[in-house]
Amino acid sequence: MSTFGRAALLALVLLGGGACEPLDAREYTPAGDSITLGVIETRIPRNTGFAARLAAREINLAGGVLGRRVEVIVAQDRLCDENHAPGVVRGLLERGVVAIVAATCSAAARADLEVVAPEAANVVIVSPTSSSSTLTGLPNFYRTIANDERQGPLLAEEVRRQGLDSAAIVHVDDIYGTGLADGFEQRFTALGGRIIARVAHPTGKTTGFTDEVQRLYAAGKPQAIVIMGFSVGAAGLSRDLVASADISGVRFFASEAVFGPGFLTSADATVAQGMQGLVPTAALDDPNRQRFVEAYEAATGESFAIEDSGRLQRTYDAVYLMALAMVKGGGATTEALRDNLIAVSGTKDAVGIPVNVGGFAAALELLSAGQEVNYEGASGPLDLDENGEPFRGTYLLWRIDGGQFVFDRALRFP
């Protein structure tokens, strides 16, 4: 093992041997000569920061970026709080991060981008979770999650495929929920379906949905209710649906942000049972997903939870793409990231020699030889398009059965 590799391994041991401890339980100060990345996570999803550190560990053991260690600082924001989000970004910038992985909602990401815009701090953000189509093409913004212009129509096609003719939509009143609802409605009606109600509610609302339930049923009982929101709010809605409406025979569907432990632990079991939705992530038999899960389980000593599928893989992929872009660009700079993030993903034309999960050492050799690389991620092929978002990939159709998430099948795009 190289001297650098031994130092990286020792640093890992000093940080707890790779144990998945609560990331907000310690203060972490990177070494002065390291390349520091910031990660923003919300308080409800778990282990996002650890997935980033797992990627950084692998990168460092392979030799680092341009001979320097990659280190990660994790900060927490509030769930989709647009007013709080910019302060979190400023705090990371004050600590010297060169780029940010923002595992936040779309509305918070939009607020973050005002802080890092070219005319402001001029720092790149790569998001594994911000999926609103309104973010497409914004300066300094890239993502490892698919644009919601894909999710809404795909879910509409699945609902129609199951023979349901009428649906009511309830969504958070922000760029995420509105965009998903628009995409679902347009595709559902184009396929001959009928939207009998569409109801919006404030993003932060988690209880007291009686009025929204009444409006969902104002034109009659729908065959399907589609929830475009977040896990805790969806759980609150489920309880009021049972308390104030006839849900017998109604089928429930939801967006990917409902997919998580926050919903399972507090939703009404009657609504939850059989609920379906989509989550953008690699198919279960994808070799790179399997490599990631094996590495994650080896580092944590825990089984990989199905509800972590997608988010953790996309976070890991974001760090890998950033590191590869900096190597290819020859610097830990915004310019190197902007000029090379799309290229190292393979572009939408899948150009370059494939580099797999855990294959950073091989990527270094290829890049040093002047070869193009095509990073094949833990969450899927990525292949970022000209807007810096996945051109191809997979959504998994999830279902809740007996209080647990299960996956039924894969839906591929484009």
Residue 363 vs residues 88, 118, 376: alpha-carbon distances, Å: 33, 29, 11
d(CA 167, CA 187): 12
- Classify 320 as helix, strand or coil: helix
Residue 17 pLDDT > 70: no
345: Cβ contacts below 8 Å, ≥ 6 apart: 321, 374, 375, 382, 383, 384
d(CA 54, CA 258): 25
Q: In one letter, which amino acid is 364? A: L
d(CA 288, CA 308): 16
For residue 268, what is the DSSP state?
Answer: -
Mean pLDDT on 71-77 = 93
Confidence (pLDDT) at 403: 95
d(CA 81, CA 72): 23
pLDDT digits (tens, 9 = 90+) for 238-273: 999 999 999 999 999 999 999 988 899 999 999 999
Q: In this predicted model, which residue has the larger pLDDT, 260 or 327?
A: 327
Confidence (pLDDT) at 319: 98
For residue 324, what is the DSSP state?
Answer: H
Q: Rounded to the nearest 10 degrees, how much is the dihedral formed by the CA atoms of 206, 207, 211, 214?
A: 90
Comparing CA positions, the residue from 260, 278, 221 lying closest to residue 410 is 278
| % of the chain surpassing 90 pLDDT | 86
Residue 19 pLDDT > 90: no
Residue 354 pLDDT > 90: yes
Confidence (pLDDT) at 29: 66
Q: How many helices (DSSP H) and strands (DSSP E) are in the chain?
A: 14, 14
- What are the tokens at 256? 């990917």
Task: Confirm if 109 and 99 have CB atoms less than 8 A apart.
Answer: no
Confidence (pLDDT) at 78: 82
User: Would you place residue 45 in the very low, low, confident or very high pLDDT band (cuts 50, 70, 90)?
Assistant: low
- Classify 124 as helix, strand or coil: strand
CB atoms within 10 A of CB 37: 28
Confidence (pLDDT) at 2: 39
Angle made by CA atoms 15, 79, 146, in degrees to the nearest 5: 85
CB atoms within 10 A of CB 202: 10
Confidence (pLDDT) at 52: 96
Rg of the chain's alpha carbons, rounded to an integer? Answer: 21
pLDDT digits (tens, 9 = 90+) for 126-154: 999 999 999 999 999 999 999 999 999 99
- Classify 239 as helix, strand or coil: helix
pLDDT digits (tens, 9 = 90+) for 164-201: 999 999 999 999 999 999 999 999 999 999 999 999 99
Residue 243, H or E segment: helix 231-244
Q: What would you measure as the largest C-alpha separation in the chain, in angstroms?
A: 70
- Average pLDDT of the chain, as a whole number: 92
Comparing CA positions, the residue from 41, 44, 70 lying closest to residue 55 is 70
Token look-up 């939870």 returns 305
d(CA 99, CA 206): 32
- What are the tokens at 89? 């970004």
6: Cβ contacts below 8 Å, ≥ 6 apart: none
